[in-house]
Chain A
Amino acid sequence: MADKIKAAIIGPGNIGMDLMYKIINRAKYIELDTVAGIIPGSEGLKLARENGFNTCVNGIDGILGNEDIKIVFDCTGAKPHLIHAPLLKNENKIAVDLTPAAVGPYVVPAVNMHEIYNTDNYNLVTCGGQATVPIVAAINAAAEVEYAEIVSTISSRSAGPATRQNIDEFTETTSDALVKVGGAKKAKAIIILNPAEPPIMMRNTIYCQVKTPDEKAITQSVLEMVKKVQEYVPGYSLKLAPIIEGNKVTTIVEVAGEGSYLPKYAGNLDIITAAALAVAEKAAENMLNISESTRGAEQ
């Protein structure tokens, strides 16, 4: 299998660059072709050129019309993505959306990738959603979650202006995904920024009120899920295995970043780029398999 699916990144900021390095280091089924920005002298575009990728400064226009590019990572913002989504759809390009625009269905690779393989727009929820939805889904599978509540604490340094100006988007999108993907009947999400120096790692506390608090089944289900997430987020770890008090289950997970482009404390950014890559890889693998089998049928 010599071919790889060509991909592009729009938005060469922190998220876009972290993703670029992850594609360089880890991708098996996709290769990066173009990085699109809007600021000619930006650090991100410079890094992209240094790494041998095509760059353009006219944003999405630099990608549209290029038939080779099949997958586009949108690392801009919710508003731009609302404009980008229909344009990409028109050209049959798959959008992997790292903004909170929520045009397409939520995807959390360890939980529902297999269910939504045929969409053309994947939404990556939020960093908190990527960290906590898997745990809620695991507990739900073992014990039926009536109510899920998560608390994500991230270092102030890793929260950019977009997060800060729209902090309600985090709480609302995350709680929505805890229900839609995690399977909880009701949910609540809380985010806390901590300015301590040195910066803290991203930590997430997951509280679940369950119907059938079977400790062994819950623990086993959570441990298996943690392994699944670790396949694409190596810095994901269980800090406190499920503690059960009555119908309440408390679990804590920590996310350390890979530290290749962004510092290790930015686990909240790492987990979303890692999830985006996992989604794109799966979509690319499917495309390659389909084209292989079509070739097979023609022969």
Chain B
Amino acid sequence: MSQVRIIDTTLRDGMHAVSHQFSPDDMATIAQSLDEAGIDTIEIGHGDGLGGSSFQYGFSKATDEDYLKAVSSVIKKAKLDVLILPGIGIESDIERAAKYNAKVVRVATHVTEADIGEQHIKIAKSYGMEVVGFLMMSHMAPPEKVAEQAKLFESYGADMIYVTDSAGAMVPSQVKARIEAVKATVQLPVGFHGHNNLGLAAGNSIAAFEAGATSIDGTIKGLGAGAGNTPTEVLVAIFDKLNVNTGVDLYKIMDVAEDIVAPRMHRPQVIDRASLTLGWAGVYGSFLLHTYRAAQKFNVEPRDILVELGRRKTVGGQEDLIIEVAYELSNKK
């Protein structure tokens, strides 16, 4: 029976869907239930990673340290994972995570900017952590470019490469081409992180697996930026049908979804017109809730903001441009 590793990021990417307001207690409860269901790796923190709590991305309910403390004390088998975006989080954030027993660090850069992650990869390696080079917005670069950047991550000492569809903008053939290109270029295992703006998160994840990815991201109930992520419980069911071992108990993970996570959701995780626009225009998923707020404030159409952000080729982290675009659109009216 073949294997796949499931990295659950309900408590990191899922934070976008609750405006980073899970409490340390919420995180501990959810993490414990994920651990008991057999999830291999649990990612936690602010939606924008370590040090993400800010005006720019929204302040989280608690500090990175509070979350690390709460979760590290309850998980028994699963590996604790954190994500860092160089330019936002700094070395000392990694150091702190290591202190709380984080075993995995995902160093996330825009798909063309892997070289800003060298410093952070090396520091994480010096703490003996597993490092994943996480190429965000992979739809914006052709497969050869994605592979070239993966090679850079490999040269800095990364242990795995992730192809990340941050905008939920790819279709299965595009995912397959990128996974294959990376696999042909580096000696490392490859993973895939999908978003559901086009309704393709689960399909893309299977395409990635079939193309050779051995690690797949999910979030419970698909909780996450934009229309959300690939639902972990759905992945577990699909892989079971494909006779691929995830190590996760299907009934238990379904129960986590219904009994533990659903009551803590702020809104239904659906593909609405704005999140569909994200996928269609190729815009970073975390922009969604910020766009709704700016649209209301400046009385403009959210879809117009998103399309303009796509036209300007914005990358992850540029939430401040939303205000400017909304303001400019309101002046044009």
Contacts and interface: CB of A to CB of B under 8 A. Distances in A.
Contacts of A191: 87
B66 interface: no
Interface stretch (B98-106, B110-118, B238-246): B110-118
A167 B116 contact: yes
A193 B318 CA distance: 9
A232 interface: no
A168 B119 contact: yes
Interface in B184-223: none
A156 interface: yes
Given A156-B113, A194-B318, A252-B320, A165 B119 contact: yes
B91 A168 contact: yes
A139 to B, nearest CB: 13
B118 A165 contact: yes
Range of interface residues on B (Cβ < 8 Å): 20 to 34
Interface string A40-77: 00000000000000000000000000000000000000
A196 B119 contact: no
Range of interface residues on A (Cβ < 8 Å): 20 to 34
Contact of A190 (B87, B91, B115, B312): B87
A250 interface: yes
Contacts, number: 86
Per DSSP, are chain A's interface residues mostly helix, strand or loop, or mixed?
A: strand
Interface string B82-108: 000011101100000000000000000
A171 B56 contact: no
A194 B313 contact: yes
A207 B317 CA distance: 15
B318 A164 contact: no
A205 B320 contact: yes
Interface in A163-206: 164-168, 170-172, 188, 190-197, 200, 203, 205
Nearest to B86: A167
A170 B87 CA distance: 8
Contact of A195 (B51, B112, B327): B112
A153 B87 CA distance: 10
A200 B313 CA distance: 10
Contacts of A167: 86-87, 116, 119
Given A194-B318, A195-B112, A250 B323 contact: yes
B315 interface: yes
Question: Which 6 residue pairs are nearest across A and B when measured between Cβ atoms?
Answer: A196-B313, A205-B320, A207-B55, A191-B87, A195-B112, A168-B90
Given A156-B113, A196-B314, 18 more contacts: A149-B54, A151-B56, A156-B112, A164-B115, A164-B118, A165-B115, A170-B87, A171-B90, A190-B54, A190-B88, A190-B317, A194-B314, A194-B315, A196-B312, A197-B313, A203-B324, A240-B327, A252-B324
Interface of B: 51, 54-56, 86-88, 90-91, 110, 112-113, 115-116, 118-120, 312-315, 317-318, 320-321, 323-324, 327
